[in-house]
Homo-oligomer: A and B are copies of this chain.
Amino acid sequence: MTAVRLVPDGDGFDLLAGDTLLLRHRSDAPALFVGAGDADVDMYRGNYFLSDRLSARIPLVHASIDRETVTLAASSSTPALLRIVVDDTGFAVERLDPDLNRFWLRCVTEAGERLWGGGEQMSYFDMAGRRFPMWTSEPGVGRDKSTLMTFQSDRDGRSGGDYWNTNYPQPTYVSSRHYALHLDTTAYSCFDFRDPAHHEIECWEIPARVELFAAARFAGLVEQLSTRFGRQPRLPGWAYEGAIVGLKQGADSFSRLETMIAAGAAITGLWCEDWVGLRVTSFGKRLFWDWKANEARYPGLRRRIAELDDRGIRFLGYVNPYLAVDGSLFVEAADAGYLALRLDEDRPYLVDFGEFDCGIVDFTNPEAADWFADRVIGREMLDYGLSGWMADFGEYLPTDVRLHDGTDGMLAHNAWPTIWAEVNARAIESRGRTGDALFFMRAGFTGVGRHCPLLWAGDQCVDFSRHDGIGTVIRAALSSGMLGNAYHHSDLGGYTSLYGNVRTPELLMRWSELSAFSPVMRSHEGNRPDENLQLDGDPVVLAHFARMTRVHAALAPYVKELCEEAAATGLPLQRPLMLDWEDDPACWGVETQFGYGRDLIVAPVIEADAERWSAYLPAGATWVHLWSGGRHEGGRTVEVAAPLGEPPVFWRDGSDHAALFAALAEAAR
């Protein structure tokens, strides 16, 4: 790691990582500001509308430097307001006036600089030129103010969202100038990359530290970030050796599974999120949020799980950190005092999740966290036979909640996804199932990867739309991967079907192709299963899906190696091309393809009606088209036929896995 250096200069200072200038602070152009504001938070069903009533923003024009310590003030004659202490990995920040609760940092920028990360960003991998608030929330439906879907969602549920909304924000970016910056805070923050003169980072508290990372190569930066934020355990083999089929039709799910197997699908998991029973709302079929097997919906479930297990098929369920008021666990938690309370009275805080209310298990109370890990996940799920689950939500913690440990809701809100991940991981650890049982989350924040073995890309619309369709999954994998999250996947088929927008056969097939080249290939029936085509609802779609599961399964030996690489280096499986091909600058701007390890380039078709597709192939290698065997020199964009069933994939000539890749097309027959 290149050390961070403080260099006094005139009436200010520079801060460098190696030779890269990151901050330039002068009295006439300060880089540091503090202030005071009062947040205004408006929340509706996980959609947050934040604004700041700012009262002061003080440029810290006066800097006194003593070795590695800089003491900053508004002027030479007024009290110091902030102290920073530089060390090898960044600088600690200390406020010297307790009334300060706002912080701004201006960083040096360069023309053409690219900026990656920000957690799991769905719309833009390169964040340059835009502004990214860091606040975990619903991701939005449509996420594009120019689409009717977004308009309708905004109008009816304030839920349309925008390009920056994400379940998993993280105040960390990687610059193409070969450094990364992380803000050590769980407060609301905002990365503003619009100004050509400087980046401006805003934070609604004085952050504890500003962490800086530098490396000669991007892959080195990713490794550092993965080490810092948590290297994930290896993915269990069963998770990538076949598909995980999502079905939620009660006992009929089992017969539908057999239909799929009979059609030739390679399946290693059955995921029934409705294992807890259903609740019908206007949004669609929702689950009954009382985390225990529903024997009425799944008679003899424990036995059936064991039977599947004998056939090498794991059973997965669903859980989230809320408890519906009409469930028995709510009563148990409320009686024990495990629920977060209202500020104004000693009653559980209830959150509206769309036509039903829930209590929030207060994980800042160690007893409550233990109870949820052991009593709920441990006893009701793992002991019952589950090998995995969707660990949903985490984004809804209200800011006006009273928590056991006294944390302010404005600071706890962003921290919650990671705390929630930790509860899940602890449950698995308590049963000795780490590296075997698997949970996946859409919510995240700094450190989520330390606990959560697998991200999922949240709730896409069931379409090809630019900001909420199938293509967002790729950017989500790239951005989260850039911060050291190795494992990513998505709901095969998309999730949100509203306003008559339903799945087409083409969408299901294109998504099957994308998912086959993801570490985990898991299908979802969506929010309105009955109105949407399912994988087993059309023989052509089913046959195509079965083929893609076989491709996926055939890749397992290669994926196993990628998992080992990830464990060693933190490199994500689905990765930006530049991580392996940094010397080819054309790779730096590629947002809709990924390297699947170093030896595969995957350019999924993410538009409707495509017969041919273009892909950029990195310079320095020869690439073999998976389906035709056609060979292409790298360093150029090639166009290939891309009929359904032949997703544009290229393998590197000379790969150790050449034989495996060459046999893939055969596996798909």
Residues of A participating in the B interface, judged by any CB pair closer than 8 Å: 33, 35, 53-59, 74-75, 77-78, 145-146, 148, 151, 154-155, 195, 200
Which of these, B56, B155, B195, contacts A57 with CB under 8 Å?
Answer: B56
Q: Contact at A54–B53, with CB atoms within 8 Å? A: no
Q: Do A74 and B74 touch (CB < 8 A)?
A: yes
CB A205 to nearest CB in B, in angstroms, measures 18
Residues of B within 8 A of A145 (CB): 154-155
Contacts of A35 in B (CB 8 A): 57
* CB <8 Å contact, A195 and B155: no
Cβ–Cβ < 8 Å partners of A57 in chain B: 35, 54-58
With the chains together, A33 CA to B36 CA distance in Å? Answer: 13
A358 CB, nearest partner CB in chain B, Å: 28
Nearest first, the 6 closest Cβ-Cβ pairs linking A and B are A77-B77, A151-B151, A57-B57, A146-B155, A75-B78, A56-B59
Please give 18 more A-B residue pairs, beta carbons under 8 A apart, in addition to A54-B54, A74-B78. A33-B55, A33-B56, A35-B57, A55-B57, A55-B59, A56-B57, A57-B58, A58-B58, A58-B74, A74-B75, A75-B75, A75-B77, A77-B77, A77-B78, A78-B78, A145-B154, A145-B155, A151-B151
CB distance from A59 to the nearest CB of B (A): 5
A148 contact set on B, CB distance < 8 A: 151
Residues of B within 8 A of A74 (CB): 58, 74-75, 78
Expressed in whole angstroms, the Cα–Cα distance for A59 and B35 within the complex equals 10
**With a CB–CB cut-off of 8 A, which chain B residues contact A54?**
54, 57
A75 vs B200: C-alpha distance when bound (angstroms): 27
Q: Tell me the smallest distance from the CB of A549 to a CB of chain B, in Å.
A: 40
Q: Closest CB-CB distance, A102 to chain B, in whole Å?
A: 10
Measured between beta carbons, the chain B residues less than 8 angstroms from A58 are 56-58, 74
Q: How far is the CA of A154 from the CA of B58 in the complex (A)?
A: 36
| A75 proximity list for chain B (CB < 8 A) | 74-75, 77-78
Distance of A82 from chain B, by nearest CB (Å) = 15
Determine the chain B residues whose CB is within 8 A of the CB of A151 once the complex forms.
Answer: 148, 151
A55, A57, A74, A155: most-surrounded residue (chain B CB, <10 A): A57
Bound state CA distance, A78 and B56, in angstroms?
16
Quote the shortest CB–CB distance from A107 to chain B (angstroms).
15
| Most-contacted residue by chain B among A74, A78, A145, A151 (CB, 10 A) | A151
Q: In this complex, what residue of B is CB-closest to A79?
A: B75
| Residue of B whose beta carbon sits closest to that of A144 | B155
A195 to B53, CA, bound (A): 9
* A151 to B74 Cα, complex, angstroms: 45
Of chain B, the residue at the smallest CB distance from A29 is B55
For residue A389, give the distance in angstroms from its CB to the closest CB of chain B: 38
Can you list 10 pairs linking A and B with CB atoms under 8 Å apart?
A53-B195, A54-B54, A56-B57, A57-B58, A74-B75, A75-B75, A77-B78, A145-B154, A146-B154, A151-B151
How far, in whole Å, are A74 and B59 apart by their CA atoms in the complex? Answer: 12
CA of A48 to CA of B572, assembled, Å: 43
Rounded to whole Å, the gap between the CB of A50 and the closest CB of chain B is: 14
Whole-angstrom distance between the Cβ of A614 and the nearest chain B Cβ: 28
What's the least CB distance linking A651 to chain B, in Å? 42
Cα-based distance from A574 to B200 in the complex (angstroms): 50
CA distance A56 to B104 in the complex (A): 11
Closest chain B CB from A543 CB (angstroms): 40
Within 8 Å CB of A146, what residues of B?
A: 154-155
Q: How far is the CA of A145 from the CA of B151 in the complex (A)?
A: 8
Q: How far is the CB of A30 from chain B (nearest CB, A)?
A: 8
Give the distance in Å from the alpha carbon of A59 to the alpha carbon of B78 in the complex. 14
Query: Please, how many angstroms separate the alpha-carbon atoms of A154 and B144 in the complex?
Result: 12
B residues less than 8 Å from A78 (CB atoms): 74-75, 77-78
Residue of B nearest to A75 (CB): B78
What is the bound-complex CA distance between A74 and B151, given in angstroms?
45
A64 to chain B, nearest CB (A): 16
A60 to chain B, nearest CB (A): 10
Nearest residue (CB) in B for A145 is: B154
Chain B residues, CB < 8 A from A56:
33, 57-59
What is the minimal beta-carbon distance from A393 to any residue of chain B, in angstroms? 27
A74 nearest in chain B by CB position: B74
Q: Which chain B residue has the least Cβ–Cβ distance from A30?
A: B55
Q: Which residues of B contact A77 (CB under 8 A)?
A: 75, 77-78
